[in-house]
Chains A and B, each alone.
Chain A
Amino acid sequence: MSMTITEHILAHASGKKKCDPGENIWVSADILMTHDVCGPGTIGVFKREFGNDAKVWDREKVVIIPDHYIFTSDEKCLRNIDVLRDFVKEQKLPYFYDPGTESYSGVCHVTLPEKGHCRPGEVLFGTDSHTCTHGAFGEFATGIGNTDAGFVMGTGKLLIKVPSSIKFIIDGKLPKGVLAKDIILKIIGDLGVDGATYCAMEFAGSTIDSLSMDERMTICNMAIEAGGKNGIIAPDEKTLSFVKGRTNKPFQCFHSSPDAKYMAIHKYDASKLEPVAAMPFSPDNVSKIRDIGDKKLDRAYIGSCTGGKITDFIYAAEILKDNKVKIPTYIVPATVEVENALSTEKIDGRTLSQIFIDAGCVEQAPPSCAACLGGPVDTYGRCNNSEICVSTTNRNFPGRMGSKNSKTILASPYTAAASAVAGRLADPRDYL
């Protein structure tokens, strides 16, 4: 059958031999993930529609990860985590990463793969738009709303439209100073924030093959920023060695057929890429750093599901190890596993945490989404005034990191670190 990897997975999940873009099909979910922001509403819909005594369709497949509003005194936020706790108890759900306990993990999209919930060939639905991150593991993963999630919770199924696929082939060696974040920002800049609406974004080529799993996640994470339904990278040896260390469940790998049909194919020569940034107020407002000119900054932020993985901090530390920051620089590990690695990973004998302290960064926060999406006013790193912040996060719409008078510039961890040192938007190649 001639199909793209996305079509293969969806056909398999719907029990069909073949499916075509545009077709509406019922697919079975392998994992449903929800968090503290959308979980209580999802549970509300589930109970309203299936009854108070209803049971979730499969306890092993519902994963609940509170991560957004954890370290706050906001009463409603804390109540929402309690709603999740009650539900987990009532339903006896085995996968719950409860704040304030040993099991707490942090940001859902980094937790899911770490804890073995991502497997090639599967269908993963999450009540969060960046669920597309998990396409990095060769699966179909997409964000849904509370009502759809309540439906999946009760039935294990969802009616979805098969997306057309757009292929991005990236070949060649990345120049010094250029990271996965630069690749995806460049693509979003070229495509526009609605350039892939409803489509699957499939990433391939020798550059993608050479990237670590963390860097592949950075790319798939931002498919939604071009409007994509999912991002996806075919599984290879790296995928398998990551996944097999974390799950015992069997899974099946799918690949695009050689004659699969694409809505469009875009080719990139990685060796020609440069460090870029997305200026306020849109992720597609992308320019080369060297073309932007002088931009004074008020703070730097390194964190989130796209920019707070261990690899991101290693990159930032490469620059911060010999320098001092000129502006407040916030460090938010995505998960407890990343947080632990910050105190074990070393560069030239110093741990990453020590490097950040020595460079003068703000005291490191405990893992969570923190200021990536603003949140309650007492959130760590939130822009409460008219700050201009260079950030490794994924969105910079008005008010994304707090006050609607603040401004967010999206960039790679190299660029964020170099800019923190300069106090102005800086090209990381000058610091490497």
Chain B
Amino acid sequence: MAQDIIKGKVFVVGDNIDTDQIIPAQYLNLVPTIPDEYKKLGSYALCGLPDSYKTRYIAADSVTTEYPIIVGTKNFGCGSSREHAPISLGAAGCKAVIANSFARIFFRNCIATGEVYPVETAEELAKAFKTGDEAEISLSTKTVKNMTTGKSFSFNDLGGVKDVIESGGIFNYARKSGMI
């Protein structure tokens, strides 16, 4: 996770995107630590979104996404504790989710697995971005710029979990601090 700049197209979603929409329960038979099944999980990322989302996160003829950045609103990742959720996003090629708030277990699973950066912001980004806009995130300056409109926005510090993220997840963190 030691990169600073994350660049690419944005995919915009609404409130309370729950883990059943991120990865529907019928695909939980896939085990994330098996490489082939990890990839498969990626190919189903966000396929539970209602049909009202005309643009799909993964195009019909693809197994990965063209949108490395997801812009959400409140309570992103609510619902179950399935780690399959951040993993399916990561496996699909998502690098960061920027939202106004995250559900606790999803946020925690992002940190523990190192699959995607969960970034919190007070800005109403879902109004400032359209699906398909190009964006650039700088983790060091805590800003995200909409390259399509030229506007920049700030996001929150990662706070107490920063040490864990910077170590690369809970295992590395524990090794570094002499726990294991």
A→B interface (CB under 8 Å): 22, 24, 26, 37-38, 40-41, 44-45, 48-49, 68-69, 74, 76-77, 80, 83, 126-129, 131, 143-148, 151, 154-155, 157, 159, 161, 193-194, 197-198, 224, 227, 229, 282, 373-377, 395, 397-400, 404
Contacts and interface: CB of A to CB of B under 8 A. Distances in A.
B81 A128 contact: yes
Contacts of B37: 76
B114 to A, nearest CB: 9
B2 interface: no
Nearest to A150: B171
Contacts of A282: 16
A155 B174 contact: yes
From DSSP, what is the main secondary structure of chain B's interface residues?
A: loop
Contacts of B174: 151, 155, 159
Contact of A397 (B18, B32, B51, B84): B18
Given A41-B32, A193-B78, A374-B20, 19 more contacts: A38-B82, A38-B83, A41-B83, A44-B32, A48-B33, A127-B81, A144-B105, A145-B81, A145-B82, A145-B83, A145-B108, A146-B32, A146-B33, A148-B170, A151-B170, A151-B174, A282-B16, A373-B25, A397-B18
B103 interface: yes
Contacts of B82: 37-38, 145
B170 A129 contact: no
B152 interface: no
B24 A229 contact: no
Contacts of A143: 80-81, 105
A56 B40 CA distance: 29
Which 8 pairs show the lowest CB-CB distances between chains A and B?
A44-B33, A145-B83, A76-B29, A143-B81, A145-B109, A194-B75, A147-B112, A129-B81
B150 interface: no
Interface of B: 16, 18, 20-21, 24-26, 28-34, 37, 48-51, 74-75, 78-84, 86, 101, 103-105, 108-109, 112-113, 160, 164, 169-171, 173-174, 179-180
A77 B30 CA distance: 8
Contacts of B169: 147
A33 to B, nearest CB: 11
A194 B113 contact: no
Q: Choose among A48, A126, A147, A398 the residue with the greatest number of B CB atoms under 10 Å from its CB.
A: A147
A74 B171 CA distance: 33
Given A147-B112, A193-B75, A68 B33 contact: no
B118 to A, nearest CB: 13
B25 A374 contact: yes
